[in-house]
Amino acid sequence: MNGSKAWAEAGGPVGRPGAPRALLPLLRTHGAAVAFFAGVADLDATDPASHELEEGIQLASGARLEQFARAGSGDAYCFVGEGGEERPVVYVSLDGQAGPLALGLPELVRLCLVAPWWRDAPGRTSEELRTVADEYRDDLPDLDLRCDRAARALGIDPADLPSGTTALARLVELSRGPVAEACRVLGCEGDPLDALFDVARP
């Protein structure tokens, strides 16, 4: 079963008709987008071939796992299955964790725009996440301006972005649903990698 079919059977759309433009080329070349995503959100799509998935990392379903960007640590952002930017996106960490981040690149870029600190979310309370967000803003006092510039570079109206709370809740939702099973990643020894989020938490 390919990734797109698995996601469709899990209840999601296979495509996004009427999408205004392809996002990945802009993430690779547009100055404002690259500055925010690679420099702030730690999603570098400018040279995905510079870091390949460790040999043996694969989807349990047998679907294609296609890396399209990386984090500074070497963690990988990957599309699931065949198709375009509408495919589910999985994050594969060198620490032995993996899981779905979004149902398509448009959803992923919105997550990164409103909550570039999403990696700090697992297991944290709302108050702790507010502290993380405040620390980001202390380090980057022009964060909102950078976000707006990056959003507009991608053809997104900043006013249409979700709240950070909504975006993070969506991550937890994906980690608990059928999409998580369709996007399950196996390590080099064939065992499932740990989930990005603690799915046992209420």
Q: Which of 57-61, 108-112, 192-196 has the lowest mean pLDDT?
A: 192-196
Alpha-helical segments (H) within the chain: 3-9, 24-29, 31-39, 105-114, 126-139, 143-153, 164-176, 178-182
Write down the pLDDT at residue 101.
95
Write down the pLDDT at residue 51.
67
Write down the pLDDT at residue 15.
36
Write down the pLDDT at residue 8.
40
| Angstrom distance (rounded) from CA 153 to CA 66 | 25
Determine how many CB atoms are found less than 10 A away from the CB of residue 55: 7
Mean pLDDT value of segment 1-10: 39
Write down the pLDDT at residue 128.
82
Q: Band the pLDDT of 34: cuts 50, 70, 90.
A: very high
Q: Band the pLDDT of 49: cuts 50, 70, 90.
A: confident
Write down the pLDDT at residue 36.
96
Listed in sequence order, the residues at least 6 apart from 116 whose beta carbon sits closer than 8 Å to its beta carbon are 40, 41, 42, 136
Q: Does residue 3 register a pLDDT over 70?
A: no
Write down the pLDDT at residue 16.
40
Q: Does residue 88 register a pLDDT over 90?
A: yes
Query: CA separation (Å) from 140 to 116, 133, 135, 137, 146?
Result: 12, 10, 8, 5, 9
Write down the pLDDT at residue 55.
85
Question: Pick from 131, 57, 133: which is nearest to 98 by CA?
Answer: 57
Instruction: Give residue limits of the domains in the chain.
Output: 3-190
Helix (H) or strand (E) holding 86: none
**30-39: burial string, b at 16+ Cβ within 10 Å, e else:** bebbbebbbe
Question: Pick from 73, 80, 84, 28: which is nearest to 51 by CA?
Answer: 73
pLDDT mean across residues, the chain: 85
Residue 18 vs residue 142, higher pLDDT = 142
How much of the chain is in helix, strand and coil states, percent to nearest 5? 40, 15, 45
Q: Band the pLDDT of 1: cuts 50, 70, 90.
A: very low
Cβ contact 108:184 at 8 Å: no
Q: Band the pLDDT of 41: cuts 50, 70, 90.
A: very high
Write down the pLDDT at residue 37.
97
| % pLDDT > 70, the chain | 85
